[in-house]
Amino acid sequence: MRKFFYALLIIIVSTNCAFASLPWEQKKEISKIIQSEQAQTITSQANVLYAENDINNAFNLLLSIPEEERTAQNWLLLGNILQDQGKIDEAVFMFNRAIQVDDTFYKAYYNLGNIYLQDGRPNMAIEQYKKVIKLKPEYPYAHYNLGCAYIKLGKLGKAKYELLTAIDLKNTVADFHYNLAYVYKQQKKEKQAKIYLDYYNKIIENQI
């Protein structure tokens, strides 16, 4: 046991000496790698805690990651937690920080759109959903929510187009059919409205 302890001590001392003898740039690079691995571990733990609804500990864990090392996903999760707590302005700030880190991160635009739509700002929501669709055109929920925003503005033709697109991409979501039925009803197209209302009812029945 003592021999093992001496051997371990020699390894540690040797490793420290080897690190100390490295040029500054290499030391800096190694430190970055270590910090990145630590941040990834913290992120994984925070995701687990969030999934378990332990949002306070998840939030505090994410805050322990230095700002300059946070990923877009880190900022997004911070925003989600704040939104869950009803802190909307702070959530918007976090989602915008996610976009600053990665301007192709469609989830942050989508979450911003949802906040604006729920807050009665459909024009701002539309702007965000269009960015999502540009980045991820096959994302059905972006088309659906864009359709909902158009409904709020009374732009039924555009709403119909987006809802039909959402259904083409994913036809098993009851709300997609219900809102399309609503649009057709508003357009006085009772036959089409009934078709999609029937689809809605079938989906609901299959979920029971």
Using the predicted structure, report yes or no on whether residue 2 has a pLDDT greater than 90. no
Q: How many CB atoms within 10 Å of residue 163?
A: 29
Query: CA dist 136 to 115, 129, 142, 190, Å?
Result: 19, 10, 9, 33
Using the predicted structure, report yes or no on whether residue 6 has a pLDDT greater than 50. no
Query: What is the dotted CATH code of the domain comprising 129-208?
Result: 1.25.40.10
pLDDT tens for 36-67 read 577 788 888 988 999 898 999 999 999 999 99
CATH number assigned to the domain with residue range 41-103, chosen from the 4 options 3.40.50.1010, 1.25.40.10, 3.20.20.140, 3.40.50.970: 1.25.40.10
- List the structure tokens of 89: 């302005």
Biggest CA-to-CA distance, the chain: 89
Euclidean distance between CA atoms 172 and 164, whole angstroms: 13
- Token pair 């790698």: residue: 33
pLDDT at 13: 42
- List the structure tokens of 85: 């707590």
Query: CA dist 53 to 59, 86, 129, Å?
Result: 11, 15, 27
Start-end of CATH 1.25.40.10 domains in the chain: 41-103, 129-208
| C-beta of residue 36 within 8 angstroms of C-beta of residue 58 | no
